[in-house]
Amino acid sequence: MDKSRKLLDKLFARGREFLGVEYPILGGAMSWISEAQLVSTISNEGGFGVLAGGNMPIDLFKDEITRTLDKTDKPFGINLISIAPNFRKQLDHVLDIEFPFIIFAGGLPPRDAITRVKQTSSKMLCFAPTVGIAKRLIKLGVDALIIEGHEAGGHIGPVSTAVLAEQILPHAKEVPVFVAGGVGSGLLMIHYLMMGASGVQLGTRFAVAEESIAHPNFKQAFIKAASKDAMPTAQFDPRVPVIPVRSITNEGVKDFTTLQLGLIAQMERGTMTPREAGEKLEEFWIGGLRKAVIDGDIEHGSLMAGQSVGLVTEVISVKEVISDLIEQGIQEADRILGLVDIHD
Ligand SMILES: Cc1cc2nc3c(=O)[nH]c(=O)nc-3n(C[C@H](O)[C@H](O)[C@H](O)COP(=O)(O)O)c2cc1C
């Protein structure tokens, strides 16, 4: 076991140093869920919490940062969605206070946002849903990548985490790379680390943690769901691109389909532009997530969840989620080292 622990320790080294935490395990930002309590708990337990800027009005956003700073003196990140209405105000604020870690979501961040972050001491992490975007982001000078695959919960890219890992991990040596999407246990975590990842990011498992403020109905829906229940939304008209959202199928998903078809009909009549239709679709999911997470309406709200929801069997604390990941990682390392008979 000693060798396995040492191996995991070595594999964690780069991510640990970059993030300044004991375990380079990120609690991925989840709108409405990743607030002060969950974020600070993840960081206090040695992981790296990420506050979700989401659609938060600026005053609430500032308060949430202050509340989190009151609950932890450990590092955490702030996630900004570049297509969210309050993105600019949120960005101005995090740059004003030179917040140490900024994570851009929602597609390639605007050029000027990258330039402005680079003029500060803040580190910038960006999502790479394809190998092409990963290369561009490295050229643009981001400090780290989060490669997020199709298995993840919430807005998803087109490529599976496994294939992204194969394409990117062996080559992207310039910056630390964290892997997100489908990581539900330490088993997969250690394999991505061995492939060259500096750490992993989990959302779905942390959404159900004891300290998550998500409504009990939301957590129970996750516990009941199988991996196959977490499906991406469909797109019906290329003029209104839908960034697919992976969520547990419910009445809300059907409502989204109806809305989409209705907007397409309005476009046909000339009473709506594709841009307006796209914005309406984005709004639907933002409001829909709140309905499920806060109000507990698991039929009509959005139950964003990754395929790893099939690995969620009970509500456990953040501390247990993290220690399970570590122990499972060590056990898997032990099994591998045993195969080549160098096990002590
Ligand atoms: C309910 C929910 C909400 C999410 N909201 C956001 C968000 O606001 N910003 C973001 O960058 N990612 C968001 N994500 C993605 C997570 O941060 C994380 O990358 C993803 O959940 C990892 O995959 P996993 O679900 O398989 O663990 C969300 C995921 C879930 C499940």
CA of 231 to the centre of ligand 1 (A): 14
Index of the ligand 1 atom closest to the CA of residue 180? 22
Q: What is the DSSP letter of 288?
A: H
Give how many domains the chain has, as a whole number: 2
Determine the distance separating the centroid of ligand 1 and the alpha carbon of 255, expressed in angstroms.
22
156 and 26 within one domain: yes
**Quick count: other Cβ atoms within 10 Å of Cβ 41?**
23
Render pLDDT for 146-166 as a digit per residue (tens, 0 to 9): 999 999 999 998 999 999 999
Whether residues 7 and 75 fall in one domain: yes
Residue of minimum CA distance from atom 20 in ligand 1: 203
**In-domain check, residue 302:** no
Other CB atoms within a 10 A radius of the CB of residue 342 amount to 9
Instruction: Decide whether any atom of ligand 1 lies within 6 Å of the 52 Cβ.
Output: yes
Same domain, 286 and 175: no
Mean pLDDT taken over the chain: 95
What is the structure's pLDDT at 244?
87
H helix intervals, the chain? 2-19, 36-44, 58-71, 87-96, 111-118, 131-140, 161-168, 186-194, 204-207, 216-224, 251-269, 274-293, 318-339
Q: 284 φ, ψ to 5°?
A: -55, -45
Domain residues for the domain of 273 are 220-293
Q: For ligand 1, what atom is nearest to the CA of residue 103?
A: 11
Which parts of the chain have pLDDT scores under 70?
341-344
Report the Cα 124 to chain-centroid distance in Å.
15
Q: Give per-residue pLDDT as tens, 34-73.
A: 999 999 999 999 999 999 999 899 999 999 999 999 999 9
Residue 287: the pLDDT is: 80
* Domain-embedded: residue 110: yes
Q: Is 51 in the pocket of ligand 1 (CB under 6 A)?
A: no
Both tokens of 101, joined, read 């870690």
Q: Please, what sign has the CA dihedral across residues 308, 309, 313, 317?
A: positive
